[in-house]
Amino acid sequence: MAVMSYAQAAALALAHAMEADPRVVVLGEDIGRGGIFGQYQGLQQRFGTDRVIDTPISEATILGAGVGMALAGLRPVVEMRVVDFALCAMDEIVNQAAKNRFMFGGQGRVPLVMRMPVGIWDSSAAQHSQSLESWFAHVPGLVVVCPATPQDNYSLLRAALDCGDPVVYLEHKTLWGLQGEVDVQAREQLGSARTVRPGRHLTLVSWSRQVHACAQACEALAAQGIAAELIDLRSIWPWDRAAVLASCARTGHLLVVHEAVQAAGFGAEIAAAAAEATGCRVRRLGAPRIPVGYSPVLEAQARIQAADIAAAARGMLEQTR
């Protein structure tokens, strides 16, 4: 076990994967100098410019090249800098990477990892602060992953590289400096949730940065005698239905929390599945349907804080008393 940051864990996962498999290559803007968050620090110096490739500023070109590399037998990791920029390459993601295996009868596979940092980034405004996981979860053929801890950013990135299908890998922009213990021997399976803390009154389901806000809310609720079970979904698609539904069946209450806009967010899928399967009481908590503002006052309107989560949980339980 070693203590390292979320960014260092990702760089270490890539280094270990590149050592083990010469087919793993990395391409994107500014990765030669370590990436804008330090998540590629030292890799080009170690593996050379043929495997850690700086590209022009053209997201469609970068992702198109990654799809071609994958079809030719490589295992590319494509850096989009932030998820907002991936919108310039949606045809390559949705119509090429996601559909190739199906449209050509399995003759081609696209073992491609697309790294797209997500979430509100302080004072970065509407075009650099989006959470778009539900967009990608809606596309058949894509795997969608949202790590919340340094350990998961190591283990899940290794799992994504081994997946064999295109993975949309969504790291939160404000978690890069988060410190935590990392066991490089630990292996995780995509689609497996993590129970952060057990509880009996309410099930809280979240992912990415909001897991940490939910953990703070659980502490506040515990001080009031409310035991909330917190589940970190980790993979948006596939998602761990068994773990979530089992918890909902025990507690009878589900609150899904995400940073993305609440309207048509992935929380709606989880809430609907839980209500249909268990009959539990459900509620969603997400951002209002507004662009993220630049000023701190406007930006705060799009944030879901621990106090908001605790209040929503208390409100659910009070309605059933």
Last residue of a domain, one of 125, 152, 182: 182
Let me know whether 266 and 172 are in one domain: no
Let me know whether 241 and 146 are in one domain: no
The verdict on whether 128 is a catalytic residue reads yes
Let me know whether 253 and 281 are in one domain: yes
Domain-located, residue 188 = no
Q: 179 forms bridges with which residues in the sheet?
A: 5
Residue 321 clears pLDDT 80, i.e. is over it: no
- At 300, list the tokens: 């705060």
From the candidates 128, 212, 253, 258, which is the catalytic residue? 128
Span 118-131, pLDDT tens digits: 999 888 999 999 99
Residue type at position 82: V
pTM attached to this predicted model: 0.96
What whole-number distance in Å separates Cα of residue 296 and Cα of residue 292?
A: 10
Structural domain that includes position 150 = 2-182
Q: Which candidate, 205, 210, 171, 204, places its Cα nearest to that of 302?
A: 210
Q: For residue 124, which phi and psi values (nearest 5 degrees)?
A: -115, -5
Let me know whether 200 and 111 are in one domain: no
Span 46-98, pLDDT tens digits: 999 999 999 999 999 999 999 999 999 999 999 999 999 999 999 999 999 99
Last residue of a domain, one of 129, 147, 182: 182
